[in-house]
Amino acid sequence: MRASLDRKKAPMERLFEIAIREDDAPRPQLSADNPAELHLAQDHADVDISDPVYDFVRSIHVFQIEYWRHRNKDGDCSTSYSIRAGTYGEQGEFRWRRTSPSSVPQASKFRPSETCSNYRFRGVFVDWTDNEGTYGFEEVRY
């Protein structure tokens, strides 16, 4: 996502530095109607990220995939799955929702067949669009 991690600084400190930097990169506009301020809230900083400059946060999608298909001892096709999609909201809040196999992005290696062949897939797939509009993804099977 063209970001680096500076472990010497807290994440909110790094975000604040990005917001006030003096280059030509887009940044939130400060106004009386839409102030972008840091507030201390119970031991952590809270910053307004509703501005479109932070759309890269909302572009992150996480899929937790557990899928099994096989023929049971009676010869019937048995399919079981648990797929959750995680997304980030307007202010960076994360939430899970249950979803179906068809919602997993094509970039994933998750490929259940139409036939009843033995197939098992467990993994986490994450995709995003960076601040320049470039699509990226990572997948880890376990």
- Work out how many domains the chain is built from and give that number: 2
DSSP string across 60-117: -EEEEEEEEEEE-TTS-EEEEEEEEEEEE-TTS-EEEEEE-GGGS-TTSS----SS--
Whether 109 and 127 map to the same domain: the answer is yes
Whether 48 and 61 map to the same domain: the answer is no
Task: Tell me the average pLDDT across 30-53.
Answer: 58
Over the chain, what is the mean pLDDT? Answer: 81
In tens, the pLDDT along 22-38 reads 555 554 454 445 444 44
In this structure, is residue 119 part of a structural domain?
yes
pLDDT at 4: 54
Asked which of 17-26, 49-58, 106-115 is least confident by mean pLDDT, the reply is 17-26
Whether 22 and 88 map to the same domain: the answer is no
- What domain range includes position 23? 11-52
- This prediction's pTM: 0.65
In tens, the pLDDT along 67-105 reads 999 999 999 999 999 999 999 988 888 999 999 999 999
In this structure, is residue 5 part of a structural domain?
no
Distance CA 132, CA 119 (A): 37
